[in-house]
């Protein structure tokens, strides 16, 4: 029995612009940017987009389909087949084309679906579509966001920063001054040697690009496609992301300032805009852009978007992997969910993909605007960073108001402040709050203070422990549609403004509203705390299949680059979004010198010439051991060595997986692309180990922990001579796991490097190949979080879950003539809240007889075809396809979720959660019930 129960979230609707024009589709919200505080259990952006049921008057959804090649399916006749097939189930639906995919690695289509029926199960639609002749697989369309680091709630204890002006970055003025990130990675040295990407074609796929700002005048843009409205104008005036990303890889122009220059400034670029102003992108739009770029023959694709965690069979992940194996280099972000294991995003978690993590800049650029404050006869200048949105009136004099009595505000979320003491003119008021603060409404839910109080402007001040490693702080907030302006200031400025407000509630602040009058200044401060170490926000591996990620680290923390003209053309932001174009640019430089290299060889040479970095605790304390491989992959990339090495390993990482799936040995080949024979000496270097679980039998991942205990491996042979143009094979076997006493219960992870040193050769042929593994089966990890899963009832009136005690009686009136047969006098429906610890390939929900333990109804089953989020609700309303009758009685919910790396044919490989008991009875008004039970 299936589809008896209903998801309980009703998504908002926003307008998507597709190849066929606008349509309304679920907007699940941001993943890594957007509202500064996102603590809802709906933590994955895929949640709302993959709800199987919508409680709206009509059903709207979208799907991606791959054809199997057995029939002559096209986008149009697929739509006809979908409509016919659904009609046989009594559904009145219209399917309309979104995209048609014709690349050799992925042939298929995506379509919108609108049904006049009020209840439609997404799972049923997927099953129907997958039953059509010629369809290989179908998935729901999901929303995807860029991986910008935008967390206001950082509270790192770094101490004080060290200031140092670096005039080399102040301006170019006809002299090409090098960026710190270029110097540290060898890119500046390559530029001096005329390795600039010339002859290489790179696609940058992002939100849109303000190519009219200073720094792009000499960029070779060979092609442009705006997929949001299907024209060639990719300019973007509503976001900064694509403009900043493009500058990192491509910037070139005599008018450029602050030393901003792309990693591969002489490459030819193809630009693809895949995000409209009023929403995120979608996986089918991204698939289409990837396929189009590859079909046009680009050498590399740089895309800084990611969407939750998915298995390799996810369609976007599959397309990216296939393109990579077909000859197109693909660079994607590891994500900004760090520190800690299992924090990556897809498709960077896919097989073979170059997943890029972030390092902090050794120089933090503070690019600030001028303002001033007045309080009676006191006043003075302030420096600030404008955020997004930023739409202030000219000559503004905003009245300062703050909820804070003390400048060091609580870091835990507080109830919204009382509006009783607010200034009279709220439209001319600015809130002063700490970056560490967040608020809740009366129900305990997250709340926007600007939205709640009706104040359109806010100034955030840094916390006392904010340092140069955190940077100047550019922030975006989309939680309040009426918010007009955000600015951030340093801690001492916050102290000054708060003191002024407390002495005089009529105190004012002026913030320059335009770049032309902002007296923009750049101050460069040396980051002696975390520079060239892994950024604390950078996501860690492993992948959901236990594989290694990220592949490599590249600069991403506090990068200055091109920005929309509204902000003066330059800005400083952080994220693996910035690391991706940096690494993709280096891939372009390698391609320039080695046009015969395959994507696998480019990937391997970048990963293995990288420099493994030591463990930095994120507070500036550096340990004398290497950071975990799951944090850094091959290490901090070395562009010079990647371009000049004549030694190529045909892999970028080795995985010993978990103890249940461990190979006896692994092997790799060493290829000598030089002109003389090279003798290599091979050895082992250990890296830090750790645990996945914070405590045994718990539901919390460790957050950035590392222990100086190591695995050991044997490398055979220890010395090998490789003739020019030849390859030789090396075997690696795990001989000892690290000594971690709770390895079996908390699931240990480990890693290290096989060191390959060329005898008598330069550093360019001294490589390190990373490996990873686990000290227990990954199936040891829980899938269902029992501490936050619970028996609940769904309040249909308020559309919210309510936790309930056992033995609650639900008196149902059942009328099978209605679309929704079950109703309850108090509008409370029996249900279950399911919180997942980690993603699962297979999840089923059952109603179980409380006395016999028999599964009397299977409500929902999902596989990796239909994406499952981290948490959601399910409730029963009797509206399955057959309106199957559930007899009166006592029941529990049983949830089964497949464990990681586990065989689904074995019952023990499922994590099983059971709720407390609830009671179902029927009123005398129940009519037309079907007493046939199906199991």
Cite the active site residues.
206, 241, 577
Q: Please enumerate in sequence order all residues whose Cβ is within 8 A of that of 70, keeping only pairs 6 or more positions apart, or say none.
A: 133, 134
Partner residues linked to 677 by β-bridges: none
Partner residues linked to 730 by β-bridges: 668
CA distances from 811 to 883, 911, 916 (A): 17, 31, 18
Q: What six digits make up the tokens of 685?
A: 């270097």
Between CA 397 and CA 248 the distance in angstroms is 36
Between CA 215 and CA 259 the distance in angstroms is 10
- Nearest one of 876, 879, 859 to 815, comparing CA atoms: 879
Say whether 468 sits in a helix, a strand or coil: coil
Q: Please enumerate in sequence order all residues whose Cβ is within 8 A of that of 749, keeping only pairs 6 or more positions apart, or say none.
A: 341, 542, 628, 630, 689, 690, 691, 692, 772, 773, 774, 775
Pure H helices in 789-890: none
Between CA 354 and CA 705 the distance in angstroms is 24
Between CA 22 and CA 231 the distance in angstroms is 14
709 and 737 Cβ atoms separated by less than 8 Å:
no
689 and 740 Cβ atoms separated by less than 8 Å:
yes
Question: Phi and psi dihedrals of 365, rounded to 5?
Answer: -80, 125
Say whether 431 sits in a helix, a strand or coil: strand
The verdict on whether omega for the bond into residue 389 sits within 30 degrees of 0, i.e. cis, is yes
Handedness of CA 675, 681, 682, 686 (dihedral sign): negative
- Nearest one of 581, 514, 484, 589 to 242, comparing CA atoms: 581
Cβ–Cβ contacts within 10 Å for residue 658, how many? 23
Q: Please enumerate in sequence order all residues whose Cβ is within 8 A of that of 851, keeping only pairs 6 or more positions apart, or say none.
A: 889, 890
Between CA 125 and CA 135 the distance in angstroms is 13
Return the residue matching tokens 């939750």.
308
Between CA 145 and CA 206 the distance in angstroms is 10
Partner residues linked to 144 by β-bridges: 281
- Nearest one of 32, 187, 153, 156 to 616, comparing CA atoms: 156
**Helices 283-295 and 315-325, interaxial angle, to 10°?**
10
- Nearest one of 533, 642, 634 to 591, comparing CA atoms: 642
How many CA atoms lie within 13 Å of 746's alpha carbon, on the beta-carbon side? 19
- Nearest one of 456, 466, 516 to 489, comparing CA atoms: 466
517 and 362 Cβ atoms separated by less than 8 Å:
no
- DSSP states of 285-354: HHHHHHHHHHHTT-SEEEE-EE-S---TTSHHHHHHHHHHHTT-EEEEE--S--SSSS---SSTTSTT-E
DSSP letter (8 states) at residue 128: H
């Amino acid at each position: 029995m299936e589809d008896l129960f209903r998801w309980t979230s009703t998504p908002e609707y926003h307008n998507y612009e597709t190849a066929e024009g606008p349509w309304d589709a679920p907007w699940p919200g941001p993943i890594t940017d957007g509202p500064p505080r996102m603590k809802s259990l709906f933590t994955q952006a895929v949640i709302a987009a993959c709800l199987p049921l919508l409680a709206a008057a009509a059903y709207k959804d979208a799907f991606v389909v791959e054809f199997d090649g057995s029939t002559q399916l096209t986008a149009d006749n697929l739509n006809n087949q979908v409509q016919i097939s659904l009609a046989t189930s009594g559904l009145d639906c219209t399917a309309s084309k979104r995209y048609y995919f014709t690349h050799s690695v992925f042939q298929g289509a995506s379509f919108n679906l609108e049904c006049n029926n009020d209840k439609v199960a997404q799972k049923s639609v997927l099953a129907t579509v997958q039953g059509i002749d010629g369809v290989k697989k179908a998935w729901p369309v999901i929303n995807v966001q860029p991986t910008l680091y935008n967390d206001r709630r950082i509270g790192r204890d770094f101490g004080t920063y060290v200031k140092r002006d670096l005039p080399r970055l102040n301006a170019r003025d006809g002299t090409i001054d090098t960026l710190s990130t270029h110097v540290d990675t060898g890119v500046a040295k390559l530029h001096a040697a005329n390795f600039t990407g010339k002859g290489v074609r790179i696609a940058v796929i992002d939100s849109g690009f303000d190519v009219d700002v200073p720094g792009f005048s000499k960029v070779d843009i060979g092609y442009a496609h705006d997929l949001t409205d299907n024209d060639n104008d990719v300019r973007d005036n509503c976001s900064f992301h694509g403009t900043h990303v493009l500058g990192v890889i491509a910037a070139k122009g005599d008018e450029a300032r602050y030393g901003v220059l792309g990693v591969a400034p002489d490459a030819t670029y193809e630009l693809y805009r895949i995000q409209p102003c009023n929403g995120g992108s979608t996986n089918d739009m991204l698939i289409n852009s990837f396929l189009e770029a590859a079909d046009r023959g680009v050498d590399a694709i740089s895309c800084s978007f990611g969407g939750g965690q998915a298995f390799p069979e996810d369609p976007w992940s599959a397309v990216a992997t296939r393109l990579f194996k077909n000859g197109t280099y693909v660079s994607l972000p590891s994500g900004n969910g760090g520190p800690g294991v299992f924090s990556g995003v897809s498709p960077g978690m896919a097989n073979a993909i170059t997943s890029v993590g972030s390092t902090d800049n050794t120089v933090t650029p503070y690019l600030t605007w001028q303002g001033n404050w007045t309080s009676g006869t006191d006043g003075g200048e302030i420096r600030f960073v404008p955020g997004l949105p930023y739409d202030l009136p000219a000559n503004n004099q905003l009245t300062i108001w703050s909820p804070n009595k003390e400048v060091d505000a609580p870091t835990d979320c507080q109830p919204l402040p009382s509006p009783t003491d607010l200034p009279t003119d709220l439209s001319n008021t600015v809130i002063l709050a700490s970056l560490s603060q967040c608020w809740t409404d009366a129900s305990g839910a997250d709340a926007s203070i600007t939205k709640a109080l009706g104040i359109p402007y806010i100034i955030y001040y840094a916390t006392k422990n904010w340092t140069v490693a955190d940077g100047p702080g550019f922030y975006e907030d989309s939680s309040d549609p009426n918010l007009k302006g955000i600015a951030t200031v340093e801690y001492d400025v916050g102290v000054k403004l708060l003191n002024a407000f407390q002495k005089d509630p009529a105190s004012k602040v002026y913030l320059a509203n335009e770049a032309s009058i902002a007296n923009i200044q750049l101050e460069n401060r040396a980051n002696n705390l975390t520079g060239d170490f892994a950024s604390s926000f950078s996501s860690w591996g492993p992948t959901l299949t236990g594989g290694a990620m990220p592949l490599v680290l590249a600069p991403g923390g506090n990068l200055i680059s091109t920005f929309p003209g509204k902000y003066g053309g330059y800005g400083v932001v952080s994220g693996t979004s910035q690391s991706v174009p940096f690494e993709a640019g280096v891939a372009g430089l390698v391609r320039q010198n080695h046009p015969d290299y395959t994507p696998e060889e480019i990937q391997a040479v970048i990963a293995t010439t990288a420099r493994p970095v030591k463990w930095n605790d994120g507070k500036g304390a550096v340990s004398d051991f290497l950071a975990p491989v799951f944090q850094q992959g091959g290490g901090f990339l070395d562009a010079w060595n990647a371009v000049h090495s004549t030694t190529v390993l045909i892999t970028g990482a080795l995985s010993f997986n978990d103890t249940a799936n461990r190979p006896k040995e692994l092997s790799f080949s060493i290829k000598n692309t030089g002109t003389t024979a090279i003798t290599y000496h091979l050895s082992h270097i250990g890296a830090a180990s750790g645990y996945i679980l914070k405590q045994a039998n718990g539901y919390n991942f460790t957050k950035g922990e590392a222990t100086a205990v190591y695995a050991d491996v044997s490398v055979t042979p220890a010395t090998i001579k490789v003739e020019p143009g030849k390859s030789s094979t090396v075997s690696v076997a795990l001989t000892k796991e690290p000594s971690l006493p709770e390895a079996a219960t908390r699931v240990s992870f480990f890693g290290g490097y096989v060191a390959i040193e060329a005898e008598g050769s330069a550093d360019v042929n001294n490589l390190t190949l990373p490996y990873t593994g686990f000290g227990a089966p990954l199936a040891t990890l829980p899938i269902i979080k029992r501490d936050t899963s619970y028996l609940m009832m769904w309040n249909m009136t308020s559309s919210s879950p309510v936790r309930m005690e056992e033995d609650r009686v639900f008196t149902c009136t059942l009328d099978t003539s209605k679309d929704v047969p079950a109703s309850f006098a108090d509008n409370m429906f029996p249900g279950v809240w399911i919180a997942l610890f980690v993603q699962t390939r297979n999840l089923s929900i059952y109603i179980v007889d409380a006395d016999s333990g028999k599964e009397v109804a299977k409500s929902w089953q999902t596989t990796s075809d239909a994406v499952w989020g981290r948490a959601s609700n399910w409730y029963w309303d009797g509206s399955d396809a057959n309106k199957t009758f559930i007899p009166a009685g006592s029941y529990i919910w049983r949830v089964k979720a497949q464990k990681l790396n586990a065989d689904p044919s074995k019952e023990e490989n499922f994590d099983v959660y059971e709720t407390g008991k609830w009671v179902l009875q029927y009123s005398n008004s129940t009519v037309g019930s079907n007493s046939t039970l199906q199991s």
